[in-house]
Chain A
Amino acid sequence: MAMAIRQPGWYRGAIGMVLGAAFGFGLVIALRAISGLELFQTEQTGYPHVIVPLITAPFGFLFGFGAFDYWFRWAAGKPTIPDDHSAHGAYRWQDYFKFNTDHKVIGIQYVVTTLCFFLIGGVLALLIRAELAQPGEQIVAANTYNGLFSTHAIVMIFLFIIPIFAGLANYVLPLMIGAPDMAFPRLNALSFWLLPIAGIVFLGSFLAPGGAFDAGWTGYAPLSTGAPLGQSFFNVGVQFAGASSIATALNFLVTIITMRAPGMNPWRMPLLVWANLSTSLLVVGATPFVAGAQFMVLFDRILGMNFFQFLEGGDVISYQHIFWFYSHPAVYIMMLPGFGIISEVISTHSRKPVFGYRLMALALIGIVVLSYSVWAHHMFVAGMFSWLRVPMMITTMLIAVPTGIKIFSWLGTLFYGKIHLYSTSMLFSLAFIITFVVGGISGVMLGMIPIDIHVSDTYFIVAHIHFVLFGGSVFTIFAGIYHWFPKMTGRMYDERLGRIHFWGTVVGTWMAFVPMHWIGMDGMPRRVADYASVYGDWNLFISVSAFLLGAVQLIFIYNMIVSWRFGPKAGNNPWRAHSIEWQVSSPPPVFNFDEIPRVVGGPYEYGTPGARHAIMGGETAPEELPEPEPATVTSPS
């Protein structure tokens, strides 16, 4: 026992958390006592004796858990045992609950954790839909309702969609580029462990006096600066989630730039790698803005600063500028990795190279550049400078062009292919194309100022974001999970259950989210617990569809759990794909490769006899294999 307490792990983590909390609490009380203030400040925007421990306790936990042991030893000049891989790889199920530096373990930790948050966010969504099934207040009071949709959005965005892409890429990307791990394995593990902390902080706000944060996931000032204590939990939670996101993105950037296998020049990178390169550029550039915005709100709340206090010279609208300077790129952070997944899946299952590969990669970069110049389209009716509107409209609508290139190129990939529909991942990819086109079109409509003036803050917006985030991002997440499930677990999932999940999800998505366009245009605002009775029938229909959509997700969870345990063995390469991750065993060995592979061609050379993407270690004389000529067949016009 005494030994266990000294070793990094859960015991020491728990002790660290208690000590961290005590330190933060004691610091606040001591400083207030010295200053002659009342020991406890319990205005609803105050509670420093809660907020400071909320920040110090997680750090105490991380210290105890072992997140900083190596760095501290190194900084203190102690021997760091460089070849100690005791915290690397999973040999028992308990290893998944440790501070583990293996990117494959971290990938699975991410995916499983975020799927748990997906279920929590889904339950919150169903509570919302239960309240909205009939006009009037039935299930929850209005302020509780505001807390429900705020936490629903935050859980889905910060704890599910953004991190699950980081998780999938964590698992797959180093394998794809022929790297033994991520560039910074310890930073990678720290990024993951910040995530459940963020989740606990966000959900912990339900226990705060005054209830969960209820100013929406956008947290507009001054509603947020005067809101009850839960809002501070939101401000702090965003810091943990944001730090996790930024550290992972840095890790991806360094890994992609410096750790590609010999021969993998940029034009030989799979599009998933391009997609994560683009996403990481967005994350490192934009996420600090949301972190900053939430610090400013927190300072207004607790330290009495006046960033957004209009009576003290603060500027209310500047919050929205800073917030959306992150949160518009954030929608691409939630979409670009999905684009990468779709490219991999469609190419593999139609047995054909991705059509227009270079333009596909450039389109991603184009989206990155454009997405930094469109944020104010969320503010067309916000009362900002009116001259800013038209330039923002034009850049917003131009983003449809690179996005359109991607849609058309995926369709072009299907033409003259050999399309296999047995895999659920392919079904989700094809459904994604159709659903995402609808979400993209409503996005262009929202970019047009006169239409946006009418539909801003209505259910049309709710319909749009759910079409792009559920019909877009979540479909690609499902495609990715089904696609790489055999690689991650070494087993096949049940395709029949996969099909049921697929059809239920597609039908449920369309039934739940299409009518929202109509009621929004017709006059139903968003974020309301109660609404005009004329929208009662449609809302009932939407609620029933949402429950259907929620129910079929249980099939997915069942399929994943049972197949992981009992599914038939998958073999190394069940989809006969070319990229490197499929050339190693399933699941891959702890250090991925005995010998780093050599990349000798593009990743999608289907249909060219003898073409190879990579030559694995142990194979004979890579130099002697001729580099295959890229085929120059053009499609008939």
Chain B
Amino acid sequence: MTRLPILKLALASLAAGTVISVLMLQIDWFGDAAATAAGPIDLLMDVTIVVSSYIFALVCVALGYALIKWRVQPGDEGDGLPIHGNTKLEVIWTVIPIIIVVALAGYSWAVLDDIENEDADRITVNVYSQQFAWTFGYPESGNKWSEGELHVPLDRQVDFQLHAQDVIHSFWVPEWRIKKDNVPGITTDAIVTPDEAGTYQLICTELCGAGHSTMRATVVVEPEAEYQKWVNGLSQNVPESLLLTADQALEIEKQIQEKEDGIEGTGVDET
């Protein structure tokens, strides 16, 4: 039995992994970024892409080497070597992947804490969704209301309170990297700190019926002063019908929170 050229295979995998990583990182995976969450998430993705590239390269090199080296000669009816396994090798390829995924999971957890960190001076915006339109309420500016167009101040954390009137919708601005479902019956929230002024698109990403693909809204990120001016210029207040369901939702939300606190705090479900 010939010895495996371990060093050469390892070097080939490293080289191939490096080439694949470089090629993969050339692809502009995410497009534009316009919120503080984008930096850490994009970096996490890039790190994962590099790690994955090396794993993919290792598999390709091993498979390619085996095919070149042990492809059978025509007419050879013999069998391969009766190797049933190798405990050391099997332990290695169990333990190393565990280390890799636990490390990536820990890193992801850190990023998650980072992007969901709440600022003290955040403002709240209500996002109402129904088939197939978005409307927005600004509770800190006298509950003013806008339809189909969302304005938020630049460099200020926004806590979006998400409501749904009929079916599930989902709030996503790709440039912000943040998404959360609007769920009828409860209020969910999404935390975003826009850090790039401009006009973006809010996209519904949860199938909500025939008009799903057209359920969009315009998002304008502008400096604080312009934002205030725009909000003050709004004439309508949030309609009663929306507020009612939103209040009901808050009540349910409170109950859920209590239940959750019960589970987290005492280990006992109080219900």
Contact = CB atoms under 8 A, between A and B. Distances in A.
Interface stretch (A80-88, A91-99, A246-254, A450-458): A450-458
Contact of A351 (B48, B78, B115, B170): B78
B98 A382 contact: no
Interface in B81-130: 81-86, 88-90, 93-94, 97-98, 101-102, 104-105, 108-109, 111-112, 115
B262 to A, nearest CB: 12
Contact of A633 (B40, B81, B260): B81
A568 interface: no
Given A525-B172, A636-B3, A434 B177 contact: no
A263 interface: no
A433 B59 contact: yes
B168 A223 contact: yes
A321 to B, nearest CB: 13
Residue among B83, B115, B213 with max Cβ neighbours from chain A (10 Å): B83
Interface in A133-169: 141-143, 146
B93 A456 contact: no
B7 to A, nearest CB: 12
Contacts of A255: none
A11 interface: no
Given A444-B104, A636-B4, A456 B213 contact: no
B260 A385 contact: yes
B166 interface: yes
Interface stretch (B23-31, B143-151, B225-233): B23-31
Contact of A636 (B1, B70, B71, B109): B1
Contacts of B45: 445, 451
B31 A401 contact: no
A531 interface: yes
A16 to B, nearest CB: 38
Given A419-B67, A450-B108, A525-B204, A142 B210 contact: yes
Contact of A454 (B60, B84, B177): B177
Interface size class of A (residues with CB under 8 A): 35 or more
Nearest to A455: B179
Given A400-B101, A522-B174, A607-B79, A445 B213 contact: no
A208 B170 CA distance: 29
Given A401-B97, A450-B115, A451-B48, A530 B183 contact: no
A444 B101 contact: yes
B86 A634 contact: yes
A258 interface: no
A123 interface: no
B237 interface: no
Interface residues of B, number: 89
Contacts of B55: 437, 441
A356 interface: yes
B154 interface: no
Interface in B134-177: 162, 166-168, 170, 172, 174-175, 177
Contact of A434 (B27, B63, B102): B63
A456 B179 contact: yes
A222 B168 contact: yes
Contact of B30 (A407, A419, A522, A634): A522
A185 interface: no
Contacts of B76: 418
B102 to A, nearest CB: 8
B212 A352 contact: no
Interface stretch (A69-77, A287-295, A311-319, A487-495): A311-319
A397 B104 CA distance: 9
A527 interface: yes
Given A222-B167, A397-B105, A633-B81, A453 B86 contact: no
B183 A317 contact: yes
B179 to A, nearest CB: 5
Given A390-B112, A458-B205, A401 B213 contact: no
Given A401-B101, A521-B31, A606 B82 contact: yes
Interface string A399-411: 0110011011101
B107 to A, nearest CB: 8
Contacts of A409: 90
Nearest to B204: A525
Contacts of A42: none
A453 B179 contact: yes
Given A310-B185, A631-B84, A359 B104 contact: no
Nearest to B106: A394
B112 A449 contact: yes
Nearest to B260: A385
B89 A220 contact: no
B198 interface: no
Interface of A: 141-143, 146, 214-216, 220, 222-223, 226, 310-311, 314-317, 350-353, 355-359, 381-383, 385, 387, 389-390, 393-394, 397-398, 400-401, 404-405, 407-409, 411-412, 414-421, 430, 433-434, 437-438, 441, 444-445, 447-451, 453-454, 456-458, 518, 521-523, 525-532, 576, 605-608, 611, 630-637
13 contacts: A143-B209, A220-B207, A352-B82, A387-B263, A397-B101, A397-B102, A414-B66, A434-B59, A444-B101, A445-B45, A448-B44, A606-B79, A637-B86
Given A357-B84, A448-B104, 18 more contacts: A226-B166, A316-B185, A355-B84, A356-B85, A356-B86, A381-B179, A383-B162, A397-B105, A416-B70, A430-B63, A433-B59, A441-B52, A444-B104, A450-B37, A527-B212, A633-B81, A634-B86, A637-B6
